[in-house]
Amino acid sequence: MTRPSPTTVRWLILVAVLVLWELLPRTGLIAELFLPPLSKTLAALFSERQEYASALLVTLYEVALAMLIACGAGILVGALVGGLALLRDLLLPVFSSLYAVPIVILYPIFTAWLGIGSESKIAFAGVYGFFPVMLSTAAGIRTIDAQLLLAARGMGATVPQQIARVIIPASIPTVLTGLRLGGALTIIGVVVAEMLTSTAGIGYLVSRYRTILDSPHVFAAILTILVLSVLFDAIARAVERRTLVWQTAGRREKTSHEPAEALAAPAPAG
């Protein structure tokens, strides 16, 4: 009896969750108000597809701009803080403790300043996603192997060349991880902000349908966000993998055996 590969198990778990989602409310084990069946949720999503599509566009627009702010400012400030000892000593402790503050508490201030339209969501989510990007960029630059810089200097690299050819490529892995985390946080930030105070977006749909106890439509909105986040994560990971061939090429050879193993040992039928 060979064990099925982790990938197979993961897919089986997903299928099981979807099946349970349909069966538990159908059999009456869970009231449909708390968990509408998957089929009803999808039907609700389909019947109001126009509304969901335009809400999704608003959310996507806000997420895109927030990510731009988070990544741009995060990388810039992170590079300065990581690269300059003076800024590092002054700012890093402050930023590190700010990271632990529940920034959502500032959201009412953002609405007071910027109104309840998209601007406040973008600003809030931008700030929310800024910290992990900034902190990991700073860490990426701070932890560069001094030996690499010494080698580059020994080969006659000027300071701009050291930045372009050593510091930037060496810090890319940590920066990308920060972008993935920060990106995920901007999605959370936008949706949370939309649920609190707004007139548009997927988060707004969730809270509006919840107040009228329309569970299928609430879950349809939740499902949309779920898919959006999972897609973002998959894309971000794919970008990381492609950019970091030099880190993963060795491992890729190993994992390429996985499909073969999976074929040789078919998973037990569920």
Partner 1 sequence: MTVANLSVVRESPAEAAIEVTGVNHVYHGREGEVAALEDISLNVNAGRFVVVVGPSGCGKTSLLMMMAGLRHQTSGTIHIQGRPILDPDPKRVGVVFQEASLFPWLTALDNIEFPLALRHAPREERRQRAEAMLTLVGLEGFGARYPHELSGGMKQRVSIARGLVQDPPVLLMDEPFAALDEQTRMTMGHELLRIWSQTAKTVVFVTHSLTEAVYLADEVLVMSARPGRIIDRIPVPLPRPRTYEMMATDTFGRLRDRIWQQIRKGA
Residues that bind partner 1 in the complex, under the rule CB under 8 A? 145, 147-148, 150-157, 161, 165-166, 169-170, 172, 245-247, 249-250
The closest alpha carbon to 217, from 202, 228, 200, 231, belongs to: 202
**How near is the Cβ of 245 to partner 1 at its closest, in Å?**
8
Interhelix angle for 257-264 vs 245-255, to 10°? 20
Tell the smallest beta-carbon distance from residue 137 to partner 1 (Å). Answer: 17
- Smallest distance, Å, CB 174 to partner 1? 13
Find the shortest distance in angstroms from Cβ 249 to partner 1.
Answer: 6
Write the single-letter amino acid at 228: L
Shortest distance, CB of residue 156 to partner 1, whole angstroms?
A: 4
User: Rounded distance, CA 270 to CA 261, Å?
Assistant: 19
Q: Provide, rounded to whole angstroms, the least separation between the CB of residue 67 and partner 1.
A: 25
DSSP label at residue 197 = S
Asked whether the beta carbons of 218 and 208 are under 8 A apart, the reply is no
Distance CA 203, CA 225 (A): 8
d(CA 178, CA 91) in angstroms, rounded, equals: 18
Taking the least distance from each CB to partner 1, the nearer of 80 and 157 is: 157
Which H, E and C letters describe 46-57, residue by residue? Answer: HHCHHHHHHHHH
User: Shortest distance, CB of residue 151 to partner 1, whole angstroms?
Assistant: 4
3-state SS, 133-180, equals HHHHHHHHHHCCCHHHHHHHHHCCCCHHHHHHHHHHHHHHHHHHHHHH
Nearer to partner 1, 149 or 228 (CB): 149
Cα pseudo-dihedral 248, 249, 253, 256, rounded to 10 = 60
Q: Considering beta carbons, is residue 87 or 172 the nearer one to partner 1?
A: 172
Closer to partner 1 at the Cβ: 171 or 198? 171
| CA angle, residues 181, 7, 254, in degrees to nearest 5 | 85
Nearer to partner 1, 46 or 246 (CB): 246
